[in-house]
Amino acid sequence: MDLLARLVDFYVGTVETNAVSLESVTKTFGSVRAVDDLTLRVPRGQTVALLGPNGAGKSTAIGVLLGLLPPDSGRATVFGLDPERAVRRGRVGAMPQEGGLIPRVTVRELLGFLAGTYPAPLPLDRLLALAQITHLRDRRVDRLSGGQAQRVRYATALAGDPDLLVLDEPTAALDVEARREFWDSMRGLASRGRTILFSTHYLEEADEQADRIIVVDRGRVIADGTSADIKRAVALTTVSVTARGDATWLGALPGVRHLEIHGDRAHLRSGDPDATVMALAEAGAVRDLQVVPANLEDAFVALIRKETV
Ligand SMILES: Nc1ncnc2c1ncn2[C@@H]1O[C@H](COP(=O)(O)OP(=O)(O)OP(=O)(O)O)[C@@H](O)[C@H]1O
């Protein structure tokens, strides 16, 4: 029977083109609608960043797609299978935001135990090398630094040699060097056809590493595309000038969607920078004028603030 189930899973997993599929998923906690009618599909082989402000619903969506949280309505599948089943088959490796490590065992014992739960685990030496924790193999898990524990969590995600990696803020505790090594390793996996879904608050990581960015807010998708698509869609350019005295009037100039004043510098986010610059010139307020096209962080802030071009 188990063999038959495996054959069915294998067949479904082969014909399904999406690694991840959330269909109209809603998940509430009391009065909080953490995920609200969310539909999201990730084709095989893509590296996708999930962005959103604190409390946007990223971890909840990840919990549903890993089968850790039952949705109130809607459905999650992973390679066409129920998430629990895909996890049991070793198709999915997950890296939780925190926790997830058993105390009082060594790194080697923890990973050895995990390997025994998967049908086709990675050999231990290879796993230790991939996560760059070979030197930590005999260290107790509860005596690791934050960054070391994060690498061990990464190893636990890779243990079953998964086709899909789901990583919730994977680089949160890592120093600059470790972060770079982590992304090198991740790119290696992506180049071997693995699907990667990660959440992050580091927008430059999303910009550099992801083929596609999905921005969620209040449990819903508010933007979905390449980094360039999202910047283009929001396309707010920052026009900065030196302005002494009360500069709040600059916020009313043509094209200006948002005004920030830091000391004597005024930063105007504009959907029509030509019109804004013309108006500044007419008003004689072009001292130290600087025009900087939107970056992903600008686009993200504009999206969350619901500024539109
Ligand atoms: N177990 C829970 N019980 C009650 N409320 C919860 C629970 N888990 C999440 N929430 C609420 O659901 C909303 C979404 O939380 P979630 O952790 O999914 O957001 P997030 O985008 O991952 O945030 P962050 O970037 O801060 O990690 C928040 O308002 C949060 O307070």
Q: Can you tell me which atom of ligand 1 is nearest the CA of 169?
A: 27
CB 31 near ligand 1, within 6 Å: no
Per-residue model confidence (pLDDT) at position 308 = 52
**Cα R_g (the chain), whole angstroms:** 23
Residue at 246: amino acid letter: D
Share of the chain above pLDDT 70, in %: 94
* Whole-angstrom distance, CA of residue 309 vs CA of residue 132: 45
Q: How many CB atoms lie within 10 A of CB 118?
A: 18
Whole-number average pLDDT of the chain:
90
At residue 140, the 3 state secondary structure works out as strand
Chain-centre distance of CA 259, in angstroms? 28
Per-residue model confidence (pLDDT) at position 99 = 65
Rounded to the nearest 10°, the torsion over CA 46, 49, 55, 56 is: -70
Q: Can you tell me which atom of ligand 1 is nearest the CA of 216?
A: 21
CB 219 near ligand 1, within 6 Å: no
pLDDT tens, residue by residue, 143-160: 988 889 989 999 999 999
Looking at residues 292-298, what average pLDDT do you find?
Answer: 84
Tokens of 188: 């290696």
> Is 258:305 a contact under the CB 8 Å cutoff?
yes
pTM of the model: 0.81
With DSSP H G I counted as helix, E B as strand and the rest as coil, what are the percentages for the chain, rounded to 5? 40, 30, 35
> Is 295:235 a contact under the CB 8 Å cutoff?
no
Q: How confident is the model at residue 118 (pLDDT cuts 50, 70, 90)?
A: confident
CB 98 near ligand 1, within 6 Å: no
> Is 200:208 a contact under the CB 8 Å cutoff?
no
Per-residue model confidence (pLDDT) at position 299 = 84
Q: Can you tell me which atom of ligand 1 is nearest the CA of 201?
A: 25
Least Cα distance to 210 among 235, 232, 228, 192 occurs for 228
ipTM of the modeled complex: 0.97
Q: How many CB atoms lie within 10 A of CB 225?
A: 14
Q: What are phi and psi of 2, to 5 degrees?
A: -60, -40
Q: Can you tell me which atom of ligand 1 is nearest the CA of 219?
A: 14
CB 27 near ligand 1, within 6 Å: no
Regarding predicted confidence, which is higher, 141 or 298? Answer: 141
* Whole-angstrom distance, CA of residue 188 vs CA of residue 182: 10
Angle between helical axes of 296-304 and 227-234 (0-180°, round to 10)? 60
> Is 27:72 a contact under the CB 8 Å cutoff?
yes
How many helices and strands, by DSSP H and E, does the chain display?
A: 11, 13
CB 91 near ligand 1, within 6 Å: no
* Ligand 1: centre distance to CA 93 (Å): 21
CB 200 near ligand 1, within 6 Å: no
Regarding predicted confidence, which is higher, 38 or 244? Answer: 38
> Is 86:92 a contact under the CB 8 Å cutoff?
yes
Per-residue model confidence (pLDDT) at position 234 = 74
